[in-house]
A and B are shown apart, each in its own frame.
Chain A
Amino acid sequence: MNFELLIDILIATVPLMLIFATLFAFTTWLERKALARIQNRIGPNKVGIPCTRIGLFGLGQPAADGIKMLFKEDIVPRGADRLFHLLAPILALIPAMLVLCFLPLEFPWTKSLLPIQAFLLDGAVIFFFAITGLNTLAVFMAGWASRNKYSLLGGMRAVAQMVSYEIPLVLSAVIVVMMVGSLNAAEIADAQKGFDWFVLSPWGFTAFVIFFISALAETNRSPFDLPEAESEIIAGYFTEYSGFKFALFFLGEYIAMFAISGLAVTLFLGGGDGPGLAAAPWLSVVWFIAKIFALIAVMIWLRGTLPRLRVDQLMGFAWRFMLPLSILNILVAGFAWHAQQQDSTIITVITWVASLAILYGTASGLNQLNRGNTRPRKYKYAE
């Protein structure tokens, strides 16, 4: 084993983990604060500096939560599969952490290192989807190993949901891969330099919306939080988890949120592209993380706004709306790519208008088609 290589790998990966773990702590605080404000409450505002009355807007809350989690008793239910009960939270965290390596984050200190180049392998996008798919296994493992009906229900819901939404997720990413002609995350980010972002085109925007909605479902975020629906099945697949194992699940969930937002930023929002890059190249990391946080903020905002979907609505939305739309979007993007090769302004304008009309028309048409099942509540006995 090459000792220098080991050090290089540590330099490349340890900051990544530290940064995202810190961001995780900050995000839990941010989410609680934002949700509280949406509901006209104040949110955590007591935990600041210990032994004083200084609150610091409750910024100490994540640390207090972490300490509490560490000291809590780790309970494994009688009859549970002890091995898989232990493995599930670890398996939930590892893929989420692993895919962070594929994000084209250009840290200044890793510029000259070789191992970081190894992470930016040519099939990064494929690898990303392959590894995030493991999360489904972890969730179902947790549900199965707990020997609890609520856990099992949550796990089964999660499998159905994640498998369904993986298809529109991947199909919407296909558009970007098609347009750039590469699966390499760094190349995809480079292709969008100078505000040539994919989200700023009709097909790119449609793909981004589909990707974002699917990402919400993949990470079990509201309004697609059926696997952990509190009001229906307690906490879903992690009902029987306590202490640090629960914290691991929590961490894994948030890291997965960062990872999938990072992929969305890479694919559609131009990666680390932004103003001021020529003067200070290190700003690209800042832009990248700022964009991730913008997406996370929208996720929190949506959580504060939307009620949870029903299971049939969830499945219908994936198969009857998102899937046809994303397949059509691939076709539109293909034609648009060929039209762009002509290099003529008139053709580009026509392509834009036509694809806008086609995509919006299809989306509202699908919406109308699927509307048949939803009627206002009818009273059977009252008049």
Chain B
Amino acid sequence: MSILGGGIFKGMAVTLRNFVGSYFSKERLTTNDYSWRPDGALPQSIADYPKEEGEQLRDTTTVTNYSRNFPMLLHDGGEPMDTVRCVACQICERECPPQCIYIEKDYDENGKYIKRPAIFDIDVSVCMSCQICVEVCPFDAIVMNSQFELSTPNRFGGLLVRRDDLLKSNDYYHKIHPEEAAARDEKMAAEKAAKAAKKKAAGEKAKAAAEKKAAEAAKAETKEGAE
């Protein structure tokens, strides 16, 4: 049994560690990291910032391997809609707490359901970045993106991200979140292997059963023959 209120003290220990640590280790002060500057010093005026669109600035100061902002859809390379992992099962749509996902299934000309979304919209003005859609997705099709420059002059349409803008390749995922992507790939490979093994086992079982049946039949035949 844990001590009553122990969780609060645990949390306070974490904040205290950060409080004290910020005075001793410079790496903790990520907002104060000016290593992208030639001299690594604190910028004193606007002239000290890069004049071109600051690629380094963005990479070094804000986005880390663990930052996440809004969800994106994954495809396995090539033509996005051919390799998209999403099958439009709508689990994420139903689990989404603020209900910001809208999905419609895709059908071919015969009216047969092909496993991919025709419409997949995320209203990022409603999304609260809770990552629940990522947790519930059985196909590892939706993951968090770290893109944050989403400002738009259009208040309504501009914040509704469409399917084609949500689609990102697995390589991009590996680029922004390398550890997480590798872990996910491993997990998917393991699942695939397990599935294949199961299928193989099932096939072998059926084969064994058939052999047994055949053997029994042969045995019965020999028995009959002996009589």
Contact = CB atoms under 8 A, between A and B. Distances in A.
A377 B135 CA distance: 12
Given A380-B94, A380-B95, A382-B95, A305 B19 contact: no
A39 B19 CA distance: 7
B14 A381 contact: no
A41 B30 CA distance: 8
Given A34-B19, A38-B15, A40-B28, A381 B94 contact: yes
A68 to B, nearest CB: 22
A72 B1 CA distance: 55
Given A34-B19, A382-B138, A305 B32 contact: no
Contacts of A302: 8, 12
Contacts of B18: 37-40
B147 interface: no
A371 B29 CA distance: 38
Contacts of A313: none
Given A302-B12, A305-B11, A40 B22 contact: yes
A73 interface: no
Interface residues of B, number: 27
A363 B1 CA distance: 13
A134 to B, nearest CB: 31
A306 interface: yes
Nearest to A53: B44
Interface in A299-322: 301-302, 304-306
Contacts of B15: 38, 301, 304-305
Given A301-B15, A381-B91, A42 B8 contact: no
B28 A306 contact: no
A364 interface: yes
Classify the interface of chain B: helix, strand, loop or mixed.
Answer: helix
Given A305-B11, A305-B15, A382-B138, A367 B4 contact: yes
A360 interface: yes
A379 B12 contact: no
Nearest to B25: A40
B12 A301 contact: yes
B126 interface: no
A4 interface: no
Interface in A98-147: none
B194 to A, nearest CB: 16
A380 B136 CA distance: 10
B95 A379 contact: yes
A383 interface: yes
Contacts of B137: 382
A363 to B, nearest CB: 5
Given A37-B22, A382-B95, A305 B8 contact: yes
Nearest to B138: A382
A381 B136 contact: yes
A41 B15 CA distance: 13
Contacts of B91: 381-382
B16 A379 contact: no
Nearest to A365: B4
A191 B14 CA distance: 38
A37 B23 contact: yes
B31 interface: yes
A61 to B, nearest CB: 18
Contacts of B21: 40
A364 B8 CA distance: 15
Interface of A: 34, 37-42, 301-302, 304-306, 360, 363-364, 367, 377, 379-383
Given A40-B21, A306-B11, 19 more contacts: A37-B23, A38-B19, A39-B18, A40-B22, A40-B28, A40-B30, A41-B32, A42-B32, A305-B12, A305-B14, A363-B4, A364-B1, A379-B136, A380-B95, A381-B91, A381-B95, A381-B136, A382-B95, A383-B138
Query: When A and B form their complex, which 10 residue pairs have the shortest distance between CB atoms, in order from nearest?
Result: A382-B136, A381-B94, A305-B11, A305-B15, A40-B28, A38-B15, A37-B19, A37-B22, A382-B91, A38-B19
30 contacts: A34-B19, A37-B18, A37-B19, A37-B23, A38-B18, A38-B19, A38-B22, A39-B18, A40-B28, A40-B29, A40-B30, A40-B31, A41-B22, A41-B29, A42-B31, A42-B32, A301-B15, A301-B16, A302-B12, A305-B11, A305-B12, A305-B15, A306-B8, A364-B1, A367-B4, A377-B132, A380-B95, A381-B91, A381-B94, A381-B136
